[in-house]
Structure formats: structure tokens, C-alpha cells
Structure 1
Amino acid sequence: MKIIISPAKKMLISSDNFGDIKRPQYFEQTQIILQALRQLTYDDLKVLWKCSDKLAQKNYQQLHQIDLTKQLTPAILAYSGIQYQYMAPDLFTVPEFNYVQQHLRILSGFYGILRPFDGVVPYRLEMQTTLAVVGSQNLYAFWNRQLYEALIKDGEPIINLASQEYSQTIAKYLTPADRMIEIVFGHFVDGRIKTRATLAKMARGQMVRFMAEHQVHRVTELQEFTDLNYQYRPEFSTANKLVFLTQ
């Protein structure tokens, strides 16, 4: 199976020496995106990033100093949002690192698709950003089917722990022969299942950790997940959607 997750806006540079850092699969495409970003003015980028002047100035300076081959951090340790904090990859054992390297993939507007030990630099670019790149009106059009084709191999099921912004880069190309399992973390509000964004991010990170710790290889094994008081609810689930509810 393959597990897909979203990146995080907040990123870190690790000073540790990692000897097994790999080059991202779509390195050349990332170079093209970088050039497209550098052609924009500061004001254009501030609108694109939708952020404050202080943050825009920091990101603008960072953009023009980026070297895609230096000061690299493994992707799984570079992102530091809520999902990654609850995944806690810095505490992984060697077998757990091996598991995520084989099964986990991080979707990215800048890098396309990343394995955990692909080397990355800090950047700011969401997939839904309306950045025109070499004739493509946005990043969805630029990446097109590439991320789907990189992920779909040998009939493996895909465990979707990514947000819709990122998962749609795969979902829109699925065929009847493909299987993507949607994971829903929710709670009841007025008799309907609703999702709390922060809790869902926490649970997604915890589920990746659960899968790595238990070396999960079958979809049915996910039903045993109970972290953060979530419980699998078969009455709301289907073959391609697993629903976990909490109070």
C-alpha cells in the first residue's frame, strides 16, 4: 500500500548529517517552478502567498537564496506542522523509518511527490496557488497526471491521509481498477458527522505513526486505530471509506 499526506507550511532546516538523502523524483520540474516564482515581483508574490508583509519579506529573500542542492533536510523531518508533530518521525526506530520510506508519500506543489528521505529546502507554495508555469494556468495543470502515475503501481491501495487540496491531484485520475481508501476523522454534530480540522490533522499524524509502529500492510488492520479516542465505526464506513469518530 501507499500512504499519501499533505505537506506543511512551516518547515525546518536540520543541522544533523543525513547520509541517505535522495534527490526528489521531479527535481527538474521543481527547478522550472522555482524559475517561474523568481520571475514574479515582490507584490505579485505577496498576493500569491496571501501573507503579511513581514512573512512575505522573509519568503521573498528565501526564494532568491534557494539552492535546491544544498542544506537539504529529509522531507519527513523538514515539515513541522500539526500532522508531523503528532507523527513524531524524530522518534521513529530504524524499522519504522524503513516502513515510511517504502510506503509514505508527501504531496507537494513545489516538489510534486516526495519520499520521506528526499532532500528538500524550505519553500512557500501551496498546491492550490494560481501560479502559471510554462503554459499551465496553475499547479494542478502543471503536474497533471504525473503524481498519479508516480503513485499507482502494482494495484496497491492508497491510504488517503491528505487534505482535499492535495488528494485531488490523485483522485481525479483514478480508474475503476484503482483503490483509494478515504480516512475520515469526525464527530457528531446535530446528528451529522463533522470534521474538526485541527483534530483531523493530529489524527492523521497519529495514524501514520500507528502504521509504522505496527508495520501495517492490510487495510483491515487500520480498524484497530484508537489514538486520540477515535474509534472505527463500521456502520458509517464502506470498502473505500473508513470512518473514525470521537466524542
Structure 2
Amino acid sequence: MSTFLFLLPPSEGKRTGGNGENEVLSFPFPKPKTIACSASDKDLKCSGKRYAEALELNQKVGNTPTCSAIERYNGVMYHALDYPNLSQTGKVFFNKHFLILSGYYGLLKPQDRICNYKLPIATKGLYDFWGEKITKTLMELQPQLIISLLPHDYLKMLINKASKELRKSFGGKFVHLQFLDQEGKKLIHNSKSIKGERIKKLSEKAIQNQEDLMTFLQTSDEKLAMLNLLEKL
């Protein structure tokens, strides 16, 4: 496995349909289907007809068309990343060094094939369901460096009481990146698109050396003053 790994969130926005018949998953996690199929309208952040459609979508996971995770997720960050137009070198780098955390699937590689679903990470019972499972799998991959680009709600899938002892035994380094504006404040406006653009640049550079990688991550540009590296694990 890669000596360094980036962790990305999925997106609420997802492409419908797909051209595959079966899921292809790199990590054999159990799925929280019961939670997904009994989630409240508040949990799924929709109501009425849209809520009924979301429940039906979750009930049919495993029996609906699939596509790669990088095709499925099409929110703002993924749109800015623009994976289809990366060079072949950029695609190889991204596929090797990036993993996506999903409330339904756990950990995904970009080319894993998944069904469409709707399951926000803060859905009742989901944190307890995942417990230490995702952290344990990450530790087993034995990366020297894990770099989180996760929002707080997804970071809680890793940093929780259930995984405390596992995290103590991790021999590598874990950092969480905060995007800061030119005044040194946490970036809020356009943060997802800027994050996607930075990932795109990183993938095209295909940096392999950790020292060069950290230098790139903390390099300013016209939109970003710096990245604040917070050790979290």
C-alpha cells in the first residue's frame, strides 16, 4: 500500500444510474443497511416524496446499477477535482493515494464500484455501527502518513472512543488539514471548490516524496494562504 494516504469525504450529491451490475469493493465491511432503511426524514434531510424515494433507494442497494466511486460522487469538491480530465499520471496518483470515507460503504478506493444511496454520516446509530472498524482497517494498511481532508462529522468516524487503543498503537503519523484564508482564518467560502482544485494540482504533480508533499500542501496561492496541519491521531 502507499506510504501516504489522503482521506476524502463523499458528497451528498451523487450521480444516478451506472453501467455496472455488481458492486466491486476493496474492503469487506459490513453495511449499515438496517440503519439506512429505517432512518428518519430528519436524518436523511428530506421529507415527503423525496424521503420515500431515499428509503427505496437504500432498500435497493446491491440490486441497482453501479459505477465507480469517483464517478458516483459529483458534489462541488469532486466537480472541481475534475477527475475525468486529469492526465493519466494524475489519475494513477489519485487512485493510489486517495481513499473516500462513506457512511454506507466504510472505506472506498476511487475505482470501487458502488450503488447510489443516501445516508448522511450523522444518521442516528451510524457512528456506533462503525465504531473502530474503519480505523482498524486503516491501521492494517500500514501507511507512514495519513492526511485527512475530512470535515468534522467524518473525522469522528476515526477519532472516537471505540478506536482509542488502536490509535495509540499507530506507528505512523496522522495529520488533519485546515484550509486557511489570507488572514489566517479557517476558510469557509468556496472551501469545497478550492479543496478540489488543490487535490487536482497535487494529483498532476504526482509527488512521491513526503517532504516535497508537505511543502506543497503548505504552499500559498492566490486563493489559499496556507494549510494548517493539525496532528489528530
Short-chain TM bin = 0.7 to 0.9
CA RMSD of aligned residues (A): 2.9
Aligned CA distance change for structure 1 residues 35 and 54 (closer, same or farther; 3 Å): same
Aligned CA distance change for structure 1 residues 69 and 118 (closer, same or farther; 3 Å): farther
The equivalent position to 1:68 in structure 2, one of 56, 62, 65, is 62
Give the paired residue count.
219
In structure 2, runs of 5+ residues without a counterpart are none
When the two structures are superposed, what TM-score results if normalisation uses the length of structure 2? Answer: 0.80
Whether the aligned pair in 2 keeps the contact of 1:188 and 1:194 (CA below 8 Å) is: no
Once the two structures are superposed, the pairs formed by residues 107-126 of structure 1 within 5 Å of their partners are 107-126=101-120
2:192 corresponds in structure 1 to 201
Q: For residues 121-180 of structure 1, what are the alpha-carbon distances to aligned partners after superposition, in whole Å with 9 as ceiling and x for unaligned?
A: 1111122111xxxxxxx2222111121122233342111111111122223443373422
Q: For residues 71-128 of structure 1, what are the alpha-carbon distances to aligned partners after superposition, in whole Å with 9 as ceiling and x for unaligned?
A: 1110011011111111111212222222122111100110011000111111111221
1:245 corresponds in structure 2 to none
Distance 1:116 1:228 in 2: 29
Distance 1:46 1:17 in 2: 29
Aligned CA distance change for structure 1 residues 119 and 225 (closer, same or farther; 3 Å): farther
2:11 corresponds in structure 1 to 8
Residue 229 of structure 1: SS of its match in structure 2? coil
Larger radius of gyration: 1
2:129 corresponds in structure 1 to 142
Residue 2 of structure 1: SS of its match in structure 2? strand
In structure 1, runs of 5+ residues without a counterpart are 131-137, 242-247
Larger RCO (alpha carbons 8 Å, 6+ apart) = 2
Whether the aligned pair in 2 keeps the contact of 1:2 and 1:105 (CA below 8 Å) is: yes
Q: CA deviation at 1:223?
A: 3.6
Matched, 1:165 2:157: no
AA matched with 1:45: S
Q: CA deviation at 1:48?
A: 2.6
Distance 2:13 2:143 in 1: 34
Distance 1:100 1:223 in 2: 15
Once the two structures are superposed, the pairs formed by residues 77-226 of structure 1 within 5 Å of their partners are 77-130=71-124, 138-152=125-139, 153-172=141-160, 173=163, 174-175=167-168, 177-187=171-181, 193-196=185-188, 198-217=189-208, 218=210, 219-223=213-217, 225-226=219-220
Aligned CA distance change for structure 1 residues 74 and 228 (closer, same or farther; 3 Å): farther
The runs of 4+ residues in structure 1 deviating greater than 4 Å are 14-18, 224-228, 237-241
When the two structures are superposed, what TM-score results if normalisation uses the length of structure 1? Answer: 0.76
